[in-house]
Every structure is written in C-alpha cells, then in structure tokens.
Structure 1
Amino acid sequence: MAKGICIVLVVLWHVTVKDYLPLGWLPAVPVTGFWGAAGQALLPLRMPLFFVVSGMFTARAVSRPWPDVARARIIRPYYLYLLWVLVHTALFQLTPGFDTVVAHSPGQLLEQLTFTPTNQWYLLALPAYFVLAKLTRFRAGAMLAASLVLSVAVSSHWFHAPGNRAGLLQNLFWFLVGLHGSGLLGRFARHTTGRRTAAYAAGYLVLVAAAAAVGADNWPGVRQLSGLVGICVGISGSVLISRTRVLPQWGDAERPGRTGRALARLGRHTLPIYVIHMPLVAFQHEAAEALARQAPGLLHNTVLSACYPLVATSLAITVSLLLYTTLRWAGARWLFELPCGPARLPARSRG
C-alpha cells in the first residue's frame, strides 16, 4: 500500500510542477501557492519512502545466487529503462515546450542511458543499487555510512550533480535502509498506532516548515532527517489505512476499506503508471494551454485552480492503467517485461 501512496505522490508532483504551475494562473488566484508549497513539503517523503519500500522488497534477493536474480533484478529494469527512454524521446518530440529532459542528439541519448538519467531514473537506479547491495552485503554498515555521506554531500551541493543524477546518488542510502533494515521496519509497522502516526506527521510538518522558514533545506543532514521522519509517516499511515475495515454485510467477510483497496491496487501497478504517466501529463498540459488561450478567464477560476492538480493526477493515473491493459491485451507485453521469458525447468528440478 505504501507503494500506491508513493506513485500517487510522484504523479501529483509531476502534474504540479510540469503542468499546473506553468499554466500561468493569475496572482488573484490564491491556491496555486498552496499546491507549490505542498509539493515542496512532500519532497523529503516521496522518493525516500519509494526506495525504502523497494529495498524491503529486495531484501531476500541479495542473498540468492547471481544467476537466480540477474534477469529479474538487473536485466529487466535496465531493459525497461532503455526501452522507455526511447519511447519518451519519440513522444516528447510532439510537445517541444514541455518541461522535461529530452535528448536531441546521439551523445545526449547516450548520456541519458548511462550516468545522467531522464525522468525514468528510478528504473536505472534499481539495478545499480541492487548490484552494489549484493556486492557489499557483508559490509552493510560501511556501505550504509558511505551512502549516507554521499546523500548528504549531494543534497548539500558539495559537488555538482546535474539533473536526475542527484536523485540517483542521493537515494542509494534509502534503498539500503529498506534492504538492511527490513526487519526493523516491519516491527515498526506492527506497532503503529493512530497517536504515534499523528505525532510523526506533526513532527514532519514542523521540521519541513522550519527548514523552509530559515532556508535550511540544503544544510547537511536536514534532508536526511526529514526523509527519516517522512518514512515513519508514510509507513505508519499506510498501516493505518490498511487497518480500516468495511463491516461485513449479508455474510460477506470483513475486507479492507475502499481507500486501502485502491492504494493496494495502485501499488501492484506502479511500473505502468510510472513509465506511462509523464507523456500523458505533457499532452494534458498542451491541451490545457490551448484551452486557456481560447478562454483566458479559466485561469481566474479559484475552484478550477484548487481542483486541477487532483483531477489531472487522477486522469493521468487512470489513463495510464487503461493504456497498460489495452497494450497487454494487444500483445505488447514487451513494453512492461522482457520479451522472452525464462525457460521452464523440468518438474523434478523446480524447488
């Protein structure tokens, strides 16, 4: 369920900074500042939580032999990264004014495929993080310390890390926290209460607001401390939502509430949402700009300004899932998984 929350926050952030705010809502509309501030406030929570959860799901795989994990943990994510960088490069040629990184030469494309990734950088990070974690699994403490120093150095701008390379370097620490701390995080989740979750949320808001007020967001350790508290909020909030139950009726078994079920479904489909949503946001932005040129008064509308990010986020997620289902039905499963599945083992060899 935490993965479902993360992917919603990722799409909401992209809608806010790449579609909503660039539309040029007039200063008389007061809510645009709220959405911008909310997006900034969630920065220390969104990707750290995403990578902590990813690390937790990877914890068992690092101890398995390389041949057993190379395909799923290394080859598949990089294949998908390579494929979707090419797809996005083609699609974004249709929206030249959209605010995203697009390669315009073979050299730029090569750079994006290696050390300065595009907005699909999560898919490049996963195999790189996994290889590092597996190679250093017997030196977990040293690797955690080194990745923490690297994260602090990048977030504090001690050296230049352009574009999404900064995110690639910063979030190794959170992946390793999830991987090596999966047992501790599991115990933390089991002891979640509403009062503790409220305390974590209040502490997170105070910390983020204080950092913003004094300009301390880039101070050494501030982003990491905010991320740690944000992870506590995300995990405990996910647990509370999952505990919300619908009372049984007409003999049905008790089941999770509607919000919990929806987030769990999204959590099982983070990949298609992640790879598909950005071009949709670009096309939404193009359409919204064209509509605003025809009817400038729309940018004065407070209700529209307040609702736009939520509606656009919901639309991007819904259409992403519809396209995913349609593409799989049409036989284009190679867009979401390796084209050739592993050979089936004889029955007596399976364990």
Structure 2
Amino acid sequence: MPPEVTPVSSGTPSSRSGHRGRIGRVGWVDAAKGLCILLVVAGHANITLNNNGYDTGIWEKMSLMLGPFRMPLFFLLTGLFAARALSERWRSFADRRVWIMVWLFVLWVPIREIWLSMVPLTSVGNSDGIPAPQGLDPENWGPMAERIGLSVLGPESYLWFVYALALFAVVSKLTRRVPPVIQLLAAMALSVLSPLAEFDWPWNDILRTYFFYLLGMYGAPWIHRLAQRRSLWIIAGSVSVYAVVALWIDATHDHFNFGLNGPVRLFLALVGIIAVVSAFSYMESWRITVPFSKVGARTLPVFLMHIMVLATVAFLLDLVLPADPGLPLQPLILAGIAAVLCLGLHKVLMACGFSWLFRRPQWMRRRYLDSERRRQEP
C-alpha cells in the first residue's frame, strides 16, 4: 500500500516476530500479503508465458486451484486495519483512503496502456523478426485513447484492485452505522450471487471481494485470535479440506473455474484464508517467511507494474532464447524475476523524484486539507 495509507497495527503482534518491516507492522500479515501478491504475479506469469509460446506445465492448473483465496485474502488483510479510520472526518478519511487510490487509478491506466503498446508482440523461437510496437502505429492511437478513456471511467484491467480499495472505503464509511452483521450478510449474498448477474470480470471480482474487506474490518479480533493460536491441527485440517475440494472440482469439471459457483468459491476462499493466516502466524519467526514479508510490506509497486514488467521480460526472453527451455518452474521463476524488478524499479523511481507515481503529490494533499481548515475557521 502507498506510504500515506499504510495501516498501523491494532492487533497484538507476536513477540516471536523478528522481521517486522517497521514498528507497528505485524509480521504474519506482511508475509501473508506477500504470498497474495506473489500468487497473483505467478498467475499472470502463466498467462504471459502461454501467450508467448512457453509451456507452463502443471503450474497453470495450480494457479487456478489457488485462485479462490488470493484476492479475498488480500482484501481481508487490508480490512484488518481499516475500522479505525471510519471515525475520521470525511475529508481526512478521503485524503488517506480514497483520493490516493483515485490518483493511482487515473495515473496508471494510461501508463499501463502506453507501456504495453510499446512492447512488440513476439513468441519464443520466432525467426520472422521483431514486429513494430503497436503503439508506434498512428492507426492504433485512436482506439488506444478510447480504451484509456473507458478504463478510467471504470475498471477494465488488473488495476481493478485500486478502484476497489477506493470504492470499499467509501461504501464502508457510508454504511458505518449499519450493524456489522447486516453489512456482512448483505456482502456475503452479493459475493455468492454476483456471478449470476454476468458482469464483466473486474466488477465480478469487486463484488465478490467486498465481503472479505468487511470481514477483515469487523472480524479483526477473531482473526488475530486465530493467528495467536498457531495450531498445527487447524493448518493441517484447513489445507486438507481445501486440497480435497479443489481436487474434486478439477476431477469433475472440464475446467476448474467451471466448478466455482458462488457458494463453492466463497467456501474455498474462507478455508484458504484460515489455512494461510494459521500457517504464516505459526511460521512468523521462521526465516522462510522473510522474503514474503519484504514483498508484503511493499505490495503497491508490484501490483501496479508487474503486468508490464512480465510482458517486457517475456519479450526480452523471446529475443535471446532459440526455443522454449521447458524448465519445470518457469512461471515461478518469471514471477520472482518480475517481483524483484518491480521493487527495484520502484526504488529507483522514488530516488529519482518520481514518488508521485505511487502516492499523491504533497502539494495536492496540502491544498485539499488546507481548504478544509479554512472552511472550519470562524
């Protein structure tokens, strides 16, 4: 998350944690967030490799089977620290929770479109030469501008998560006086029934995940209690249940997603969340979780840039590889490379004065907040 909206823990972190990103962070939360974003990058790495003619082996199916809990877990972890902000004045709340996301969404939609248009469409082993990037063809500029305009008005790509964070903040603030049980039941019904409405996939994902944002917000005490139990029995049980149901779906349907109706997806998401929360809280002081925590404390640049970085790396691989090497871990290797490059690029951009790519400029925030102070002065 961007620095100006980074949550401060309201939970009770374990004293066993030896690698918190900074004071106030909870180690297992960062590690679980890191797993979420790495699974997202790995899923998109599968798609990128397939599009460029590489074999992804079993990892495509694995990505589908792990999909039901990826983004629900991310939004639940985001919601864990969101309840405190609901008591803020609207202007302060909007400054930290809404306008930052609006800024990022409006900024990165055209960046994404332009960047991807400048990456030539190639495939591994292609000996026909490098085609010109589509972005250099004036005939594509009009359709590209139209896509940018439509995408800014509503989520049309993986940037839906930025749009969702702003939307969830506004809706949860507006409904803060509604009893949490009613909010959760309504959001759960929306999560289960939204696929029947046949919205575009970004809106389906938004409607499915709001329940988990609220669950993190209002269920935080129980979630922290689950984490503090550090039970191997809960880990083993939840992992086993998830694996059995996922394997059954895969065995009885032509495509894994065909078996993910609303209730089944919700069930798998909840079981997967229990498994990950329990596992990462149990392993909180283990060295193996350090890479996950480091990524989890800096998810924003990875979320924003990983698709473009994946496309760029795949293009470069197409140039140097005469054929698909067929490595068994190709999607995971590409995902790891992309995540490291995103974090490195973020560090370089921040050092070069481009912090406005990842957070709202301070002059804009000052003008916004100063106008509120002047309005309140007698």
- TM-score range (shorter-chain normalised) is 0.7 to 0.9
C-alpha distance in structure 2 between counterparts of 1:141 and 1:104, whole Å? 45
Following superposition of structure 1 onto structure 2, how do residues 157-172 of structure 1 map, counting pairs within 5 Å?
157-172=195-210
Aligned position for 1:152: 192
* Aligned twin of 1:15: 45
CA distance in 2 between partners of 1:213 and 1:124 (Å): 35
Question: Partner letter of residue 112 of structure 2?
Answer: H
Equivalent pair of 1:44/1:226 in contact (CA under 8 Å): yes
Distance 2:359 2:351 in 1: 14
Distance in 2 between the 1:38 and 1:218 partners? 15
Amino acid in structure 2 at the alignment position of 1:9: L
Q: In the alignment, what sits opposite 2:161?
A: 122
Q: Which amino acid aligns with 1:193?
A: S
Match of residue 336 from structure 2:
314
Cα distance in 1, alignment partners of residues 331 and 75 from structure 2: 24
Q: What CA distance in whole angstroms lies between the structure 2 residues aligned with 1:312 and 1:159?
A: 35
Kept in 2, the 8 Å contact 1:115–1:165? The answer is no
Residue aligning to 1:42: 66
- 1:296-330 deviation digits (Å, cap 9, x = unpaired): 3xx2x44x2x1211221111111111111111111
Q: Secondary structure at the match of 2:58?
A: helix
Instruction: Give the Cα–Cα distance (whole angstroms) in 1 for the partners of residues 291 and 95 of structure 2.
Output: 30
Residue of structure 2 in register with 1:238 after alignment:
280
Amino acid at match of 1:144: L
Paired position in structure 2 for 1:6: 36
Aligned position for 1:262: 291
Deviations 1:108-140 (A, max 9, x none): 323212333321111110010011111112222
Alignment of structure 1 residues 1-351 onto 2, 5 Å: 1-17=31-47, 19-25=48-54, 32-95=56-119, 97=121, 104-139=143-178, 140-154=180-194, 157-215=195-253, 217-244=259-286, 257=287, 259-292=288-321, 295-296=322-323, 299=324, 301-302=325-326, 304=327, 306-340=328-362, 342-343=365-366
Secondary structure at 1:227's aligned position in 2?
helix
Partners of 1:204 and 1:226 within 8 A in 2: yes
C-alpha distance in structure 2 between counterparts of 1:240 and 1:114, whole Å: 43
Contact 2:191 2:262 in 1 (8 A): no
Q: What is the DSSP-based 3-state SS (H/G/I as helix, E as strand, rest coil) of the residue aligned with 1:42?
A: helix
Supply the AA of the counterpart residue of 2:330: Y
Q: State whether residues 227 and 282 of structure 2, in contact with CA within 8 Å, keep that contact through their aligned partners in structure 1.
A: no
Contact 1:52 1:174 in 2 (8 A): yes
Unaligned runs of 5+ in 2: 1-30, 123-139, 371-378
1:25–1:330 CA distance, 2 compared to 1 (3 A): closer
Tell me the TM-score normalized by structure 2.
Answer: 0.78
- CA distance in 2 between counterparts of 1:146 and 1:169 reads 11
Counterparts of 1:150 and 1:97 in 2: how far apart (Å)? 39
CA distance in 1 between partners of 2:118 and 2:149 (Å): 21
8 Å Cα contact 1:281-1:316 kept in structure 2: yes
Q: Please tell me whether the aligned partners of residues 116 and 163 of structure 1 are also in contact (alpha carbons under 8 angstroms).
A: no
Deviation of the 1:192 alpha carbon: 2.0
Q: Normalization by structure 1: what TM-score? A: 0.83
Return closer, same or farther for 1:336/1:177 CA change in 2, 3 Å cut-off.
Answer: same
Give the 3-state SS of the residue equivalent to 2:360 in structure 1: coil
**Amino acid aligned to 2:108:** W
1:109 is matched by which residue type in structure 2? I
Runs (5+) with no aligned partner, structure 1? 27-31, 245-256, 346-351
Alpha-carbon contact 1:280-1:316 (below 8 Å) kept: yes
Secondary structure of residue in 1 paired with 2:199: coil
C-alpha distance after superposition, 1:45-85 (max 9, x if no partner): 11110110011121211222212211110000110111111
Aligned length: 316
> Cα–Cα, structure 1 residues 241 and 20, in superposed 2: closer, same or farther, change >3 Å?
farther
Counterparts in 2 of 1:111 and 1:145: CA distance versus 1, 3 Å? farther
8 A Cα contact 1:116 1:162, kept in partner: no
The residue number in structure 1 matching 2:24 is none
Distance 1:7 1:336, change over 3 A: same
State the distance in 2 between where 1:45 and 1:220 align: 13
